[in-house]
Structure 1
Amino acid sequence: MDWDARFRANDAPWERKGLHPAFEHWRGLGLLQAGKSVYVPGCGRGEEPLALARAGLNVTAIDLSPTAIDWQVARFAEAGLIAHLEAGDALAYRPEAPFDLYWEQTFLCAIPPRLREAYEAGAYAQIRPGGVLLALFMQKEEMGGPPYGCGIPAMRALFPDTRWQWPEDEPAAFPHPGLNAKEELAVALVRR
């Protein structure tokens, strides 16, 4: 997939119009605290990096698409806020210090399933012990992708209890308006 060409052509049906409702959900649970560091892999042209910075978090956002990163840079400049914004491989990125939070939104479901183990290993390395992976797992029955379905049984196998603490509560569901109302399940995984 040529992600940059898709952004240049404004052919990005996975983009939400506005801030993801999980932002307020997780802020209401006290997970988005000012001063924490947060990583947004595959950020695209999402509203979340800027919203996180406005909430006082230290944002790092990476995307393969230079067009998407240029869009983020312009938005941050307009808002007078700073962040580490970089065009590059979000899976391979290793910070100097691990992040407190990891905002997963339409990134895991966009990469080929054969890369999921690399995703989990990267997230485990990128998040500090006790840090939280704020995951939005795309629910999709049909074959193929992207988006690729991230059913909860598969996600429990990918993020095992030996490395991640799963919440006891049922996940909140957020239908995606740009993807035929496919649900994204909000799960906050604590890195052990």
Structure 2
Amino acid sequence: MQQTHPLDQSFWNSRWENQQTGWDIGMASPAIITYMAQYTNKDAAILIPGCGNAHEANWLLQNGFTNITLIDIAPKAVAQLQQKYAKNPSVKIILGDFFEHKGQYDLMIEQTFFCAIDPKLRQNYVAQAASLLKENGQIIGLLFNVDFQKQGPPFGGNTIEYQTLFEKYFSIKKLEDCYNSIKPRTNTEVFINFVKK
């Protein structure tokens, strides 16, 4: 189905201005918490792209992580984060486009960003993620394993598509049905752990 509007900064900012943030689950995703609870490197450089309210960042800070970068394209979302984390040197907040971002990270957390971008950009997403990750860096998080019957965003997908997309740059360590999705997303998500080749 064709996009009738560009998924650009003004589109996303207006969603924030009008409080149309249905993707926000109001807390850190249980699947991501479960993974990060056993992640031992508290000083790892972590990137959360398309971070929105960045509930995961809150959990990470409370659990001793010290090097978190948040990036979002919507000025309204970023302004809220800047206010929230103004006194916290462990969090860097960037207003910008993930596809133009430069940096080097150990870990990228994927939570409803991939499904928000135009599917035509998915190959670019994979290449950009690989360029931002250090050797053996990882992407962990959630992707939808469902075909939405309406015009996106969110845009769905399936494990075969994801395997094909990511395997050029990443070793597929985990791509499996998520057992601890939030209730509204039960049986529609896969948990991923991809390691940069």
TM-score interval, normalised by the smaller of the two chains: 0.7 to 0.9
Contact 2:127 2:169 in 1 (8 A): no
Structure-2 residue corresponding to 1:145: 152
Q: Which runs of 5+ in 2 are unaligned?
A: 1-6
> CA RMSD of the aligned region, Å?
2.1
Displacement after TM superposition at 1:131 (Å): 0.9
Q: Which residues of 2 match residues 1-192 of structure 1 at below 5 A?
A: 1=7, 2-28=11-37, 30-31=38-39, 33-54=41-62, 55-77=64-86, 80-95=88-103, 98-143=104-149, 144-160=151-167, 162-167=168-173, 170-176=176-182, 181=186, 183-192=188-197
Contact 1:138 1:182 in 2 (8 A): no
Q: Give the paired residue count.
A: 186
Contact 1:72 1:85 in 2 (8 A): yes
Contact 2:147 2:157 in 1 (8 A): no
Contact 1:15 1:46 in 2 (8 A): no
* Structure (1 or 2) with the greater helix fraction: 2
Q: Which amino acid aligns with 1:60?
A: T
Contact 2:170 2:196 in 1 (8 A): yes
Q: Which runs of 5+ in 1 are unaligned?
A: none
Query: TM-score of the superposition, structure 2-length normalised?
Result: 0.85
Percent identical across equivalent pairs?
25
Query: TM-score of the superposition, structure 1-length normalised?
Result: 0.87
- After the TM superposition, list the runs of 4 or more consecutive aligned residues in structure 1 that deviate by more than 3 angstroms: 168-171, 173-177, 179-182
Displacement after TM superposition at 1:164 (Å): 1.1
Instruction: Go from structure 1 to structure 2 and tell me whether the alpha carbon gap of 1:47 and 1:166 turns closer, same or farther (over 3 Å shift).
Output: same
- How many angstroms apart in 2 are the aligned matches of 1:10 and 1:168? 34
- How many angstroms apart in 1 are the aligned matches of 2:133 and 2:97? 17
Displacement after TM superposition at 1:135 (Å): 2.9
- How many angstroms apart in 2 are the aligned matches of 1:174 and 1:140? 16
